[in-house]
Every structure is written in C-alpha cells, then in structure tokens.
Amino acid sequence: MATKVICIANQKGGVGKTTSAVSLAHGLVQKGRRVLLIDLDPQGQCATALGRNPEPGVFHLLTMGDSPQETTFVRSWVRTSGREALYYIPGDQQTMAAQTVLNAQNQPISAIRTSISRFFKESLHYIIFDTAPSVGGIQERAVWASDLVIVPSATEFLLSDGVSMVLLMLSILQEKKEWRGKLLGILPTFYDEQTPESAAALDDLRERFSSSILSPIHRATILRECAAEGRTILEADPLCRAAKEYQALSAHVMKF
C-alpha cells in the first residue's frame, strides 16, 4: 500500500492550517484510515490540539540519519494520540534549529521525503504535514515530500495573496525541482456568508483560482474552544457544521 503524503501550507499564520491538519487527520481516521500527523511548526500546536504536549520529535526526524539505530530512535518519537490509528510526531521550538541544520548542511530539496521514507512500510494510509507560516527551508522540503497540497485561506478579508505565494512556490518546485505532486485545492476557512467581506473574499478566490477552490469551512467559535481543550472538532461536536465540513473534506481527500 502506498502512503499518501499531504502538506497543509500557507505562508500566512492564523489561516486555519493547524485546525485543518488536525481535523483532516482525525476525519480520515474516523473513516478507517491510519494517519501520521507531523508537526513542522515550532509552535507545536498539533500536540496541544490533540491534548498532548509539544516535544522535539520533529527535530530528531529532520536531523537524524538512516542507520538502524537512528531509525529506531526517530520511531520512538511517534506518539499515539489516544485516538485509534491517529499517530503524530510532535514538534516544538527545536524545529527551528532543525531548519538551521538542514540549511547549513545544504540538504537537498528531497531531504524531508528521505526522512519520512522510513515510515512508508508501516501500512499508513496518510502522512499529513502541518507547516509553519514561513519560508525558510522546511516548508519547501515538506511540499516537495508531498503528493498533495492543501492551502487554507482565511476568507475574512481579501487575503488571497498568501495563496498566490504558495501557488508560485508549487509551480517553481514542479518546474525547477521535478516535484511530482500537485495542488489538491485551496480551502477557504473562517467563512461567514453573513459578512460582506467574507463573501467577497470567497468570490475573489473563486475568480482567481476557480477550479481549485474546495468547499469552505465556516467560521465556528467551537473550533477555537476545542483546540484550547485538546479535543478535535470531531469529538467536541461531531454534528456541528464545521465538523461536517471537515468530514466532507476528509471524504473528498480520499478520492485522490
């Protein structure tokens, strides 16, 4: 079985990357898939969103070689989340140091793909990367390591320039670095059709990136609350609209 790798990316912060990574991971698990979520953001919020603590797992994943001892050590950082078949590798501030190491060693664009290849024989259906809002080495290598990329974009104001920047990066990686993956779609988040700004922002996204726009995730206060409590939306309120939207996103992702 081939493990599909998905990257959640946008150079802007606060657009729903972590929320989408965690909710999608849990949504896929609830549909019977085995998922490894990897937190590439030094803020370590994947762990907290799952009710766990940030730890330097990703630092070791990104800086260890592939000897049997190193692989055993890296594997020891794969954490169970308390949800069946949902595993994660936590990140914390040390991830910034991993970025420095990758760049100082002049590691190739394929470095993260190589790092995660040790998990390809573990009957995982998906590996999902949550990424930091920065370009500086890790994000490009994470995209390159991925088969599919989802770009969350907050539809509060006309913010879609962040989207253009990611799409530019994707096309450069395809053209210059022989990246074989593709954009799965742009995910409008914080959508609220009651506010003119939000509706205009979604129209703008549709106009500019028509076919790539996924069904929006509505603004939902409970998403913020449940993340603070360490519960995913699918356990906090599985019947609410945002939960249904993330379930639909999970079903959509499974078609690729």
Q: Tell me how far, at minimum, the Cβ of 141 lies from ligand ADP, in Å.
A: 18
Write out the two tokens for 235: 């356990």
Is 227 an interacting residue with respect to ligand ADP (CB under 6 A)? yes
- Say how many residues touch ligand ADP, by CB under 6 A: 17
Is 18 an interacting residue with respect to Mg ion (CB under 5 A)? yes
Q: Tell me how far, at minimum, the Cβ of 4 lies from ligand ADP, in Å.
A: 21
One residue of 58, 116, 217, 253 binding ligand ADP per CB under 6 A: 217
18-47 residues in contact with ligand ADP (CB under 6 A) are 18-19, 45
- Residues in the chain, how many? 256
Using N-to-C axis directions, what is the helix angle for 161-176 and 196-209, rounded to 10°?
20
Q: Which of 179, 68, 56, 57 is nearest to 118 (CA)?
A: 68
147-206 residues in contact with ligand ADP (CB under 6 A) are 189-190
Write out the two tokens for 236: 């906090």
Angle at 88 between CA 35 and CA 101, to 5 degrees: 120
Looking at beta carbons only, is 170 or 220 nearer to ligand ADP?
220
Rounded Cα gap, residues 148 and 162, in angstroms = 18
Using only C-alpha atoms, the chain has a radius of gyration, in whole angstroms, of: 17
- Contact footprint for Mg ion (CB under 5 A): 17-18
- Contact footprint for ligand ADP (CB under 6 A): 13-19, 45, 189-190, 217, 219-220, 223-224, 227, 242
